[in-house]
């Protein structure tokens, strides 16, 4: 039961407040008590563009990520460290190479991925903050560190070289660490997983533990809970890896708390799940059960605490996600957050 809380520090620094029944509280503790046991946190290389918006504070560089990791550890929660290998958002449509690496040749870029990955883990080891899970890349449908690492026209060779460098760094680190992180590789949407997994597998990428998938009903071709169950089962059987949904969300309202246009609108629904607090609860409960029925290991909710505040993300001020959070517009925890404490059945 994971929650991506990467935005929390910036939200709080810009006036956001979290509550349970009107009482202010720590969102990490609030969500833990609602049933979360894992915190996912993104890591960007040198996000100076974020610093330019925030008086020099980059939030999602290593120092900012350490701040989040400490808060998770204080609550006794596990951590999934999501390394983007970019200075900014990495997703299926954008995988920008860090500026510090932009003029490197492929072999040098591969060495940099290795050195950066193991360097981050060694720094965290000194602080007793080694994560339980490490993601090598974020939504890497078309590779990472473009243009050199782009998986274009079915050619996965360069991308696989970079993935294996990151994987090797984690395994080498683990050889001398008491905490040995599991490795997630991450692709967006079930309909794209098989081509991607076959592509990297054909180039020798085999040594990972978890196949992580983003599943948003807005963009997915898998429209039913049975489809989710069948997709998870097929991936588990075909590739022999644990399977998780490492990003998901569902709206609890179609209203807007600020002037920043929301990503999910009133049209972005799944059949049988109206946009309401109850609809959000039932969707997340049923999605979790579908993943478990397929033999999957769980789900991670993307940015359930990105409530509206004075935060400027470069595209708008406030939040484009506040109707997808697990808190209402006043910052109070929604009853739907307790889907994480629902009674689930586990296949034998």
CB 47 within 8 A of CB 55: no
**CA–CA separation, 278 and 287 (whole Å):** 14
Residue 81 in any domain: the answer is yes
Confidence of residue 144 (pLDDT cuts 50, 70, 90): very high
Residue 198 in any domain: the answer is yes
Enter the tokens of residue 175: 């050889």
Range of the domain at 181: 2-341
Q: What is the pLDDT of residues 222-256, one digit of tens each?
A: 999 999 999 999 999 999 999 999 999 999 999 99
CB 298 within 8 A of CB 287: no
Residue 348 has pLDDT above 80, yes or no: no
**CA–CA separation, 68 and 151 (whole Å):** 32
Of 96, 247, 303, 322, which is the active-site residue? 247
Mapped onto helix, strand or coil, the DSSP state of residue 39 is strand
Q: Of 307, 231, 300, nearest to 82 (Cα)?
A: 300
Residue 347 has pLDDT above 90, yes or no: no
Confidence of residue 73 (pLDDT cuts 50, 70, 90): very high
CATH number at residue 134: 3.20.20.80
pLDDT score of 44: 98
Residue 175 in any domain: the answer is yes
Is-catalytic flag, 221?
no
Beta strands in the chain (DSSP E): 2-4, 19-20, 23-24, 38-43, 78-83, 133-136, 182-188, 210-214, 242-247, 300-301
Q: Stretch 58-78: mean pLDDT, rounded?
A: 98
pLDDT score of 152: 84
Count of domains for the chain: 1
pLDDT score of 153: 84
Of 96, 139, 303, 322, which is the active-site residue? 139
Residue 306 has pLDDT above 80, yes or no: yes
Q: What is the pLDDT of residues 156-183, one digit of tens each?
A: 999 999 999 999 999 999 999 999 999 9
Average pLDDT, the chain: 97
Residue 348 in any domain: the answer is no
pLDDT score of 4: 98
Is-catalytic flag, 96?
no
Residue 179 in any domain: the answer is yes
Residue 215 in any domain: the answer is yes
Q: Of 1, 7, 29, 169, nearest to 85 (Cα)?
A: 169
Q: Stretch 105-134: mean pLDDT, rounded?
A: 98
Residue 126 has pLDDT above 80, yes or no: yes
Residue 347 in any domain: the answer is no
Q: What is the pLDDT of residues 245-297, one digit of tens each?
A: 999 999 999 999 999 999 999 999 999 999 999 999 999 999 999 999 999 99
Residue 346 in any domain: the answer is no
């Amino acid at each position: 039961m994971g929650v991506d809380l990467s935005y929390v520090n910036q939200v709080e620094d810009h006036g956001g407040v979290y509550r349970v029944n009107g009482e202010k509280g720590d969102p990490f503790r609030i969500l833990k008590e609602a049933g979360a046991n894992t915190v996912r946190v993104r890591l960007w290389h040198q996000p100076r563009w974020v610093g330019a918006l925030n008086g020099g504070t980059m939030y999602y560089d290593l120092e900012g990520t350490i701040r989040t990791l400490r808060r998770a550890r204080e609550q006794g929660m596990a951590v999934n460290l999501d390394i983007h290998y970019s200075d900014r958002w990495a997703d299926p449509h954008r995988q920008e190479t860090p500026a510090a690496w932009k003029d490197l040749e492929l072999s040098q870029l591969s060495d940099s991925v290795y050195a950066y990955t193991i360097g981050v883990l060694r720094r965290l080891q000194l602080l007793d903050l080694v994560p339980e899970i490490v993601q090598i890349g974020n939504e890497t449908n078309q590779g990472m560190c473009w243009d050199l690492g782009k998986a274009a026209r079915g050619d996965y060779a360069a991308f696989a070289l970079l993935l294996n460098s990151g994987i090797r760094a984690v395994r080498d680190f683990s050889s001398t660490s008491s905490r040995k992180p599991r490795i997630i590789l991450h692709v967006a949407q079930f309909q794209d997983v098989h081509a991607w997994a076959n592509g990297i597998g054909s180039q020798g990428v085999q040594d990972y533990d978890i196949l992580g998938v983003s599943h948003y009903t807005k963009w997915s071709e898998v429209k039913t809970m049975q489809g989710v169950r069948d997709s998870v089962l097929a991936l588990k059987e075909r590739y022999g890896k644990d399977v998780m949904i490492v990003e998901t969300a569902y709206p609890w309202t179609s209203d807007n708390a600020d002037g920043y246009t929301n990503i999910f609108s009133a049209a972005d629904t799944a059949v049988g799940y109206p946009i309401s607090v109850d609809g959000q609860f039932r969707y997340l409960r049923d999605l979790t059960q579908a993943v478990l029925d397929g033999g999957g290991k769980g789900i991670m909710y993307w940015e359930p605490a990105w409530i509206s505040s004075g935060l400027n993300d470069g595209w708008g001020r406030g939040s484009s996600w506040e109707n997808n959070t697990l808190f209402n517009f006043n910052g109070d925890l929604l009853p739907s957050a307790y889907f994480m404490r629902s009674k689930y059945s586990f296949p034998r």
